[in-house]
Copies of this chain bind each other. A is one copy, B any other.
Amino acid sequence: MRVLFLGDIVGRPGREAVAGEMRRLREELALDVALANAENASGGLGLKPDEARRLLDSGLDVLTSGNHIWKYREIQDYMPRTTRLLRPANYPQGAPGSGLGVYSAGGGVSYAVLNLQGRTYMEALECPFRTADALLAQVPEDVRVILVDFHAEATSEKIAMAYHLAGRVSAVLGTHTHVQTSDARILRDAHGQGHTAALTDLGMCGPEESILGMEAAPILSRFLTGMPTRFRVAGGAVLLEGALLRIDEGTGRAQSIEIFRRRLI
């Protein structure tokens, strides 16, 4: 099974680039599954339901998210009405929506997507490690392909999650920092056999000349003056970043992972 998982989509440039390319990418890369984190898709922060729908219509199978997903109040109503938009599973019980979904990839192959959020340098949530344990126990046994988006800041927590889930899921892919890391690798299971693809951060889909997709000047000004500034989504060429995976459908083992990066002008 061939999977493309894209990093945080930022603003209109990110959304339009992803939506505009998705059909072509599915074909060119022979994708069975295409996923993206969409927590920044609306205005650089948050996700409006309409824009979630348009992303899903464009050829993405499932959207994941993170700490910024709650920005627009409407998303709380939308979440329970779709299974194709996940939020981090370790928000407290009672939060709208779900952090785990099981989907069909066609040809009788099912796969699960699990969305989690870190706690180091981030807000207090339930333990992502224990939440992962609890939710993996709920995945039907015949669903072997399991893809995890761990939305977290600290590299230590992200790599710790990869080791925690090594041998139990197909991939642990980080999001949230908007900067793609170069450490794609496959971790071994308890028997020493390669199983779980890991990448500390997928990067983002958004304007290249920017700070995390936003215009540099207001952010620099904030660092220099300590005073609030209004952030704006940047313009110019757009980067699509993520990871491309091949996964054995029978066992759920990752066969390969490589970083994906494409520049659109």
A interface list, Cβ under 8 A from B: 70-71, 76, 91-95, 119-121, 123-127, 129-130, 153-157, 159-160, 163-164, 177-183, 200-201, 203, 211-212, 216, 219-220, 223-228, 259, 261
Contact = CB atoms under 8 A, between A and B. Distances in A.
Given A91-B226, A127-B92, A216-B160, A155 B183 contact: no
B177 A155 contact: yes
A71 B70 CA distance: 22
Contacts of A119: 124
B94 A225 contact: yes
Interface of A is mostly: loop
A200 B179 contact: yes
Copies in the complex: 4
Contacts of A224: 92, 94, 127, 129-130, 164
B180 A181 contact: yes
29 contacts: A70-B227, A70-B228, A91-B227, A92-B127, A92-B130, A92-B225, A92-B226, A95-B227, A121-B121, A121-B153, A124-B125, A126-B126, A127-B223, A130-B224, A153-B153, A155-B177, A156-B212, A156-B219, A159-B212, A160-B216, A160-B220, A163-B216, A163-B220, A164-B224, A179-B181, A181-B201, A182-B182, A182-B259, A182-B261
